[in-house]
Amino acid sequence: MSTTATQPQASDTTAPTGRVMRTARKRKNRKFNPWGVVAWIAAIGFFFPVFWMVLTAFKQEADAYSDPPKFFFTPTLDQFRAVFETGVGTALLNSAFATIVSTVLVLLLGVPAAFALSLRPVKKTKDVLFFFISTKMLPIVAAIIPLYVIVANVGLLDNIWALIILYTAMNLPIAVWMMRSFFLEVPGELLEAASMDGASLWTAVRELILPLVSPGIAATALICVIFSWNEFFFAVNLTAVQAQTIPVFLVGFITGEGLYWARLSAAATMAALPVVLAGWLAQNKLVRGLSFGAIK
């Protein structure tokens, strides 16, 4: 009887304590944090140019040039119609084809290379890694003349395959270095255990290693997509009409008559939309990939 009498008293004392602790946590969370305000100001500052570009895309040219700028206006799709009439579809298809094919080639070449330099290291690994990264040290402008001569001699001027080859070579060193860091976070004992169970190297890589590093592969692929989609220097020097990409297409709105701000904003919005959608669709794997191995 004495035991049953004391139990309600214990529960009565712990319940108010729990409520007090929860209330204290809520008050602590509501406490003013100046760094949060700084973060919001920085985020708005970075996002405002994108917001203004999208807003200007729905204006008439007169509203886009108004001083002071107009925040309230009648939206229109005239600028998007005008961009489609100028042939943006071909440029978008060229950019999409060059970006997708070059990214696939980078992954097909970079993932095995990164695996060989991490879980199955080869001789003089440091020399190989330095060779990979040294290819990024040469300024592109210093190599454009010999590249132009080579492309012209093999008949690939104004050909999308020239850009695919160059984009693959441009992104491959970055992909190898990124993927190697992801592979290094995978315990090497996994391969040893799979080998002892009778699994071949390819089976172990396919069934064990690749699923573990899939966030890193997604992050690497997205980085390659962004770099290839936004690349301008090779495209403007090695293409003309047939292989014109979207960055080169945007330059066409800069004419001797001046800038068409609203139409240029509409074209830039259409050019940025595929990359934004790709990042949004892969955001979960991208966050996991970029933070892979950050917490042991």
Given a cut of 80, is residue 293 above it in pLDDT? no
pTM above 0.85, yes or no: no
86 Cβ contact partners less than 8 Å away, ≥ 6 residues apart: 252
Q: How confident is the model at residue 22 (pLDDT cuts 50, 70, 90)?
A: low
Q: Which has the higher per-residue pLDDT, 129 or 275? A: 275
pLDDT at 29: 56
pLDDT at 171: 93
Residue the block writes with tokens 């976070």: 185
Which of 17-21, 29-33, 51-55 has the weakest average pLDDT? 17-21
Closest C-alpha among 232, 261, 274, 234 to residue 249: 232
Average model confidence (pLDDT) across the chain = 81
Which of 29-33, 203-207, 268-272 has the weakest average pLDDT? 29-33
DSSP three-state, residue 280: helix
Given a cut of 80, is residue 10 above it in pLDDT? no
Q: Which has the higher per-residue pLDDT, 52 or 129? A: 52
Given a cut of 70, is residue 181 above it in pLDDT? yes
Q: Where are the alpha helices (DSSP H) in 58-159?
A: 61-64, 78-85, 88-116, 125-134, 140-153
| Single-letter amino acid code for the residue at 183 | F
Q: Which has the higher per-residue pLDDT, 2 or 85? A: 85
The C-alpha torsion from 89 through 165 and 116 to 187, rounded to 10°, is -20
Read off the pLDDT of residues 102-142 as tens digits, 9 standing for 90 and up.
Answer: 999 999 999 998 888 887 666 766 777 777 778 778 888 88
Q: How confident is the model at residue 294 (pLDDT cuts 50, 70, 90)?
A: very low
Read off the pLDDT of residues 84-99 as tens digits, 9 standing for 90 and up.
Answer: 888 888 999 999 999 9
Among 1.10.3720.10, 2.60.40.10, 3.40.50.10860, 3.40.50.300, name the CATH number for the domain at 88-293: 1.10.3720.10
Given a cut of 80, is residue 11 above it in pLDDT? no
> How is the chain split into domains, by residue range?
88-293
pLDDT at 27: 59
pLDDT at 2: 47
Read off the pLDDT of residues 210-251 as tens digits, 9 standing for 90 and up.
Answer: 888 888 898 899 889 999 999 999 999 999 888 999 999 888
Read off the pLDDT of residues 29-42 as tens digits, 9 standing for 90 and up.
Answer: 566 678 888 888 99
Strand residue runs (E) in the chain:
254-255, 258-259
Closest C-alpha among 99, 86, 43, 108 to residue 250: 86
Q: Look at the alpha carbons of 211, 213, 216, 217 in this order and tell me if their dihedral is positive or negative.
A: negative
- Which letter does DSSP use for residue 254 in this model? E
Q: Which has the higher per-residue pLDDT, 3 or 161? A: 161
pLDDT at 256: 61
